[in-house]
């Protein structure tokens, strides 16, 4: 027994020597080299050169802001200690085409030419006012070196840098009724920071100009927790701020739809996770990882996913429909008899037609025995437009100028639109989401394109317009716009008949950010009657003997279609 006890004690003593280590040498970890995920060329500008004069400092400061990936720490090195604290480059982005020579010692001045600006939320704000094109840089000496004592609160970069390193994107909000997504164009840095900027800007409240144009379902008071990293094509949207508490399923669904539609523009993202104030958000199914191309949010598509993909036209005064190039007669009132209609618009679901006659605006079904009816009598009606809510928009040219009205549930409502009402409107478009109206105004020397946001109340009743602005357009031909049409929810195609033998089509951003001289035109030979476009379908130019494909893929591909007029898509 003594032996056994002794042996047990020995075993216990020896085993006590076997313990988890709690100290040891420092060992370097072997970690795989992390591949650079960004393929774009990088640029790290040099810091201030010792002994540099004020002009060199300002020049270096402007160059340092062109760092890629985008960062401002190098640029801050050119500022004085106080200026480093005060400088807010995130306030806006100023782009310029050219700049004056840099001169001055204690006060350096730089003048910008062709300067435009982008707001803090990435929205295009157009040209910089003339006063803002002069940049003043008071200089100060610190530790024997010249430094900038105060710099404009902006990231100031050349236009070519902006075009190469910023990308056009859209933030997706909802219309005031919460039924459809409304894109808001923004310009944000591309690359690894794209998702972070998109989410950051999405979290900002919709611009005041669109205060009743859009709404967001993302709870207020949240901000991005440092960034939105993308790991293995999954974006981690981590929002900090006050905990909003449990959210209704409808709110969560729409919030996820906003993020999904916004983040799918970053091609490196296939899905995302969402955390709000440390709590993971799940959808109704309990999932916490959301594919950005989820079909669950397609019915919020601002291009109206369920819209008819058919093309419609008039042949011998009768309505026909079908695939492009293969139209067949319809058996509705406009297909059975020639009612003397001209321009027309088909409701997005493809079931109803609004057509203009010289004396009235007729409405009738596309198919079926029901007759057409006069919805509105009068003259000077322009080609009408339908939006997702089956609102029928019409602009009537009257002696006092254009009058804008829309019909909802068979009842017409007049609405005064700043920039359109009373003007000489020759053509107008209403976006399928109903948030935008774009019109061609006849000018004495040249036509102009204006865009306005349509404001609604929560019941979907249009209450006015806001944010009317010009979409820059420069003609090299007749200066008259023959036609316009949507090519996406945020871009339009503009048709200009340069000469009897040649026409051009330019694609312009609806926010006016496309420099007119840089909008690459698509040239079409011959005389073009109009455009056949929609936000989702292939665009064509309508000629007398057929259609010319003006999409970048099959440009100038011709489809024979003689004897057809007013070819159009639904909407």
Binding site for another protein (CB under 8 A): 2-4, 6-8, 10-12, 14-15, 17-29, 31-32, 34, 37-38, 67, 69-74, 76, 84, 87-90, 155, 189, 192-193, 195-197, 200, 224-231, 236, 238, 240, 275, 278
Chain-centroid distance of CA 166 in Å reads 13
Minimum distance from CB of 137 to another protein (Å)?
18
Alpha-carbon distance 347 to 351, whole Å? Answer: 6
Strands, E assignment, 180-285: 181-189, 222-224, 230-231, 234-241, 271-276, 279-280
Tokens at residue 263, please? 């983040």
By C-beta, is 29 or 520 nearer to another protein? 29
Minimum distance from CB of 7 to another protein (Å)?
3
By C-beta, is 87 or 146 nearer to another protein? 87
CB 287 within 8 A of CB 234: no
By C-beta, is 4 or 520 nearer to another protein? 4
Minimum distance from CB of 29 to another protein (Å)?
5
Alpha-carbon distance 417 to 348, whole Å? Answer: 24
Minimum distance from CB of 126 to another protein (Å)?
20
By C-beta, is 62 or 372 nearer to another protein? 62
DSSP 73-106: HHHHTTB-HHHHHH--GGG-EEEESEEPPPB-SS
Q: Which stretch of DSSP H or E encloses residue 314?
A: strand 311-315
* Per-residue exposure over 534-558, b if at least 16 CB sit within 10 Å of its own CB, e if not: bbbbbbbbbbeebbbbbeeeeeeeb
Minimum distance from CB of 183 to another protein (Å)?
22
Minimum distance from CB of 68 to another protein (Å)?
9
Tokens at residue 560, please? 């024979």
- Alpha-carbon distances of 66 from 73, 266, 359, 409, rounded to whole Å: 11, 22, 59, 54
- Alpha-carbon distances of 237 from 186, 195, 218, 290, 499, rounded to whole Å: 19, 9, 12, 11, 52
By C-beta, is 275 or 551 nearer to another protein? 275
Alpha-carbon distance 301 to 179, whole Å? Answer: 10
Minimum distance from CB of 415 to another protein (Å)?
39
By C-beta, is 72 or 491 nearer to another protein? 72
Alpha-carbon distance 288 to 269, whole Å? Answer: 15
By C-beta, is 71 or 418 nearer to another protein? 71
Minimum distance from CB of 217 to another protein (Å)?
23
By C-beta, is 90 or 331 nearer to another protein? 90
Q: At what angle do helices 249-263 and 194-203 cross, to 10 degrees?
A: 140
By C-beta, is 231 or 285 nearer to another protein? 231
C-alpha radius of gyration, the chain, whole number: 30
By C-beta, is 12 or 520 nearer to another protein? 12
What is the phi/psi pair of residue 503, to 5°? -130, 160
By C-beta, is 76 or 133 nearer to another protein? 76
What is the phi/psi pair of residue 86, to 5°? -85, -25
Residue with tokens 């060992």: 27
Chain-centroid distance of CA 300 in Å reads 15
Minimum distance from CB of 4 to another protein (Å)?
6
By C-beta, is 166 or 486 nearer to another protein? 166
What is the phi/psi pair of residue 524, to 5°? -125, 130
Minimum distance from CB of 87 to another protein (Å)?
7
456 DSSP β-pair partners: 462
Minimum distance from CB of 106 to another protein (Å)?
25
CB 220 within 8 A of CB 242: no
Minimum distance from CB of 145 to another protein (Å)?
18
Alpha-carbon distance 181 to 216, whole Å? Answer: 10
By C-beta, is 232 or 295 nearer to another protein? 232
Minimum distance from CB of 235 to another protein (Å)?
9
């Amino acid at each position: 027994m003594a032996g056994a006890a002794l042996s047990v004690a020995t075993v216990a003593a020896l085993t006590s020597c076997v313990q988890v280590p709690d100290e040891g040498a420092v060992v370097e970890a072997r970690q795989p080299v992390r591949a650079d995920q960004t393929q774009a060329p990088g640029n790290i500008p040099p810091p201030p050169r010792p002994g540099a004069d004020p002009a060199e400092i300002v020049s270096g400061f402007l160059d340092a802001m062109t760092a890629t990936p985008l960062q401002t720490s190098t640029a801050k090195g050119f500022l004085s200690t106080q200026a480093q604290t005060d400088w807010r480059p995130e306030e806006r982005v100023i782009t310029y085409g050219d700049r004056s020579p840099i001169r001055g010692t204690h006060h350096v001045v730089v003048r910008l030419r062709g300067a435009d600006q982008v707001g803090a939320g990435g929205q295009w704000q157009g040209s910089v006012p003339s006063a803002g094109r002069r940049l003043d840089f008071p200089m100060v000496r610190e530790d024997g070196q010249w430094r900038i004592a105060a710099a404009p609160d902006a990231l100031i970069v050349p236009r070519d840098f902006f075009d190469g390193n910023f990308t056009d994107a859209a933030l997706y909000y909802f219309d005031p009724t919460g039924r459809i997504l409304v894109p808001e164009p923004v310009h944000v840095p591309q690359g690894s920071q794209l998702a972070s900027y998109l989410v950051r800007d999405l979290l900002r409240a919709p611009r005041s100009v669109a205060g009743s144009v859009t709404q967001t379902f993302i709870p207020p008071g949240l901000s991005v927790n440092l960034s939105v990293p993308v790991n293995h094509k999954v974006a981690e949207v981590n929002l900090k701020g006050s905990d909003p508490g449990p959210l209704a399923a409808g709110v969560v669904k729409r919030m996820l739809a906003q993020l999904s539609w916004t983040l799918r523009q970053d091609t490196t993202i296939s899905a995302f996770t969402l955390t709000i104030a440390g709590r993971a958000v799940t959808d109704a199914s309990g999932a916490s990882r959301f594919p950005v191309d989820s079909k669950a949010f397609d019915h919020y598509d601002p291009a109206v996913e369920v819209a008819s993909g058919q093309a419609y036209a008039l042949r011998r005064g009768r309505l026909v429909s079908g695939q492009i190039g293969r139209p067949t007669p319809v058996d509705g009132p406009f297909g059975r008899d020639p009612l003397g209609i001209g321009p027309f618009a088909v409701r997005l679901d493809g079931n109803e037609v609004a057509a203009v006659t010289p004396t009235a605006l007729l409405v009738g079904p596309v198919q079926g025995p029901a007759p057409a009816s006069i919805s509105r009598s009068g003259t000077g009606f322009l080609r009408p437009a339908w939006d997702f809510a089956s609102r029928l928009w019409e602009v009537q040219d009257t002696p006092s100028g254009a009058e804008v009205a829309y019909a909802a549930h068979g009842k017409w409502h007049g609405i005064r639109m700043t920039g359109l009402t009373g003007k000489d409107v020759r053509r107008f478009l209403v976006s399928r989401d109903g948030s935008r109206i774009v019109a061609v105004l006849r000018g004495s020397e040249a036509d102009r394109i204006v865009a306005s946001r349509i404001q609604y109340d929560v019941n979907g009743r249009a209450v006015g317009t806001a944010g009317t602005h010009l979409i820059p357009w420069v003609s090299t031909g007749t200066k008259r716009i023959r036609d316009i049409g949507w090519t996406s929810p945020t871009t339009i195609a503009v048709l200009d008949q340069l000469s009897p033998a040649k026409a051009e089509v330019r694609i312009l951003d609806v926010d006016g950010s496309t420099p007119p001289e840089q909008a690459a035109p698509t040239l079409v030979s011959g005389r073009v009657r109009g455009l056949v476009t929609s936000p989702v379908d292939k665009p064509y130019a309508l000629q007398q003997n057929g259609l010319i494909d003006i999409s970048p893929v099959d440009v100038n591909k011709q489809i024979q279609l003689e004897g057809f007029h007013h070819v159009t898509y639904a909407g």
